[in-house]
Amino acid sequence: MAAKATQIIPGVLRETSNPLLLKADIGKPSKCGYKLPDSNFTYGKINQRNGIGTVDGLITAKDFSKYQLNNECFKKKVHHSTRNKISLPPDVVFGVPTKASLPINIFEHKEYGYTQEEQQLHLAKLCNDRKSEISKRHRGYSETRTSFLRRHKPSVDPPPLWQMPKFQKNALPALDTFRNEAAREKAFQKHQTDSIARTGLFGHGTYKGA
């Protein structure tokens, strides 16, 4: 029985023919390979020759390559697309139509003019408030009257225009032809309204011609 377990008996498939149940001979390692064919064996796929080429006398690979170049021997691949093909006219133009250009200044003025101005004013106000808040925060002391007076610069009146010495004191005119101050103001008001039609820089000349 031990001899039968170490060899394969040809014929009908038996339990002893299972390679997993085979046991190695005593003192010899188990065989884990297959025998190679003889030296005359050719590896690869069988070349299915073209019957028409055989009739024409094509035997070598060079003759086959020339024949295939001159004749369509290969099957064309058919691409099956899952998308539904849409028939379009030949003169169709793809893409989005170009919109008419509009100057940016007109666009901003009509659409966003007031909104943009209000937004800029609001941002400027926020920036100024932020700067004042930061300056107060980093000052380090509270505002008092002493600190205010230290930074206060009183306004100084500009120096008066130069006058001649005789006019520096309350100089009065040599002649006073008005009866009182009310008559003087009334006369000057009438002269101001009448000076439009007169010549001269201050309207003291003659009347302008029509």
Which range, 93-102, 121-130, 140-149, is most confident?
121-130
User: Comparing C-alpha atoms, which of 113, 136, 132, 114 is closest to residue 124?
Assistant: 132
What's the pTM? 0.20
pLDDT of residue 186: 92
Angle, helix 104-111 to helix 113-137, in steps of 10 degrees: 80
Q: Classify residue 198 by its DSSP letter.
A: B
For the chain, the C-alpha Rg in angstroms (whole number) is: 60
Tokens representing 83 are 């998308």
CA distances from 22 to 16, 29, 155, 195 (A): 7, 12, 122, 141
pLDDT in tens, 62-102: 888 888 888 777 666 666 666 667 777 888 888 888 777 76
Question: Burial code of 89-112, b = ≥16 C-beta within 10 A, e = fewer?
Answer: eeeeeeeeeeeeeeeeeeeeeeee
Which neighbouring-strand residues pair with 207?
Answer: 198
Lowest mean pLDDT among 2-6, 92-96, 103-107, 134-138: 2-6
Q: What is the average pLDDT score of the chain?
A: 77
Q: Which residue has the higher pLDDT, 165 or 109?
A: 165
pLDDT of residue 180: 92
Q: What is the mean pLDDT of residues 39-68?
A: 76
pLDDT in tens, 159-193: 988 888 877 777 777 888 889 999 999 998 888 88
